[in-house]
């Protein structure tokens, strides 16, 4: 995306990956469950619409860490 801090070269070695999806949807969260369980750290950005945050946290609680 133009104007972002992350650059194409930041992803070349495969250590980082950017994924665009709606983690407030349970089926999307389920797709990425293994990644969340294995990650040491993850960043999530959302629409800040007061709906996404509560749904995301609800879905995150369902992951068996």
pLDDT for 9-39, tens place per residue? Answer: 999 999 888 888 999 999 999 999 999 999 8
Q: What is residue 1's predicted lDDT score, i.e. its pLDDT?
A: 59
Rounded Cα–Cα distance for residues 23 and 29 (Å)? 5
Strands (E), 1-45: none
Mean per-residue pLDDT, 55-60: 95
Strands (E), 1-65: none
Closest to 26 (Cα-Cα) out of 1, 59, 64: 59
Closest to 63 (Cα-Cα) out of 21, 32, 18, 24: 32
pTM: 0.73
Looking from the CA of 51 toward its CB, the CA atoms found within 13 Å total 5
Q: What is residue 6's predicted lDDT score, i.e. its pLDDT?
A: 82
């Amino acid at each position: 995306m133009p104007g972002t801090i992350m650059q194409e070269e930041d992803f070349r070695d495969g250590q980082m990956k950017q994924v665009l999806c709606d983690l407030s949807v349970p089926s999307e969260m389920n797709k990425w469950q293994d990644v969340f369980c294995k990650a040491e750290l993850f960043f999530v950005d959302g629409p800040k619409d007061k709906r996404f945050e509560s749904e995301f946290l609800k879905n995150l609680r369902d992951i068996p860490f």
